[in-house]
Structure 1
Amino acid sequence: FQDGWLRTGDVGRIDERSFVTLTDRTKDVIKSGGEWISSVELELLLAGHPDVLEASVIGVPDEKWQERPLAVIVAREGCDPAPEQLRDFLDGKVAKWWLPERWCFVPEVPKTSVGKFDKKHLRSLHASGELEVVDI
């Protein structure tokens, strides 16, 4: 405990009935223009698109906003979703400033040994220029 808090690295909210809902990890929240964008919320919404098999979202450096979301997408077999189509799918479900401008389509999202998205590895791949990013 630190100052009466259990520091787990999780981000969440407490509702009016005092229920806690964990929404993201501190290291995965995207800090953009002084606001926080939940990578997990974007992932869940994108995964709801019929052409998307998997979606992982990471924060990448941005000159103007500090960080912006990069959506890493695995399309369902036989599908070829366009970044504009996926962005339109998100429009109205999240704040405009949450909408990703950067997209990457991959055959699979790297995973950790326990099957979670390996966002640290994705950030490393982006930093080294190994991801083919489409800006819209």
Structure 2
Amino acid sequence: MAYIDVTVPFDGEDFLSGRPGDPVRAAIEEHGGLWPVPAAEEFAGQGLTDAHIARFLAKGTPHLGATLTAPAELKGSPGDVPATYVKCLLDRDVPPSAVAGPVEGGRWGPAELDTGHRPMFSQPREPARVLSESAAAD
């Protein structure tokens, strides 16, 4: 299992739990239950080229908001399963608090990439390398 620069919900929580006044929730409500494609300026500082950003804007589609706002129904905790958590440092330098326990407890192997939230575009070989190393370790 690998998580790449994401928030990890736990049973009964949604993906956006712990984010009061979250602009994502507001955007979903304003757009009829859909999270719209980010505006060009939201990609700034994420290690993307102008061509990457243009591709997102031209081909991106809204994200179904319920996948972010509906409570997760999980048996057990994601922290119970060995995983690798990849933090992309240009997005934020600290992983979300929900992943701190499994990472600090040694259940999840930490990894860092010096890129933004979309490493599969900005540095596609790096997430592939981390995932390959993670799979080999398991």
Q: TM-score range by the shorter chain?
A: under 0.3
Structure of greater relative contact order (alpha carbons < 8 Å, 6+ residues apart): 2
Using structure 2 for the length normalisation, give the TM-score. 0.26
TM-score computed with the length of structure 1 as normaliser: 0.26
As a proportion of its length, which structure holds more strand? 1
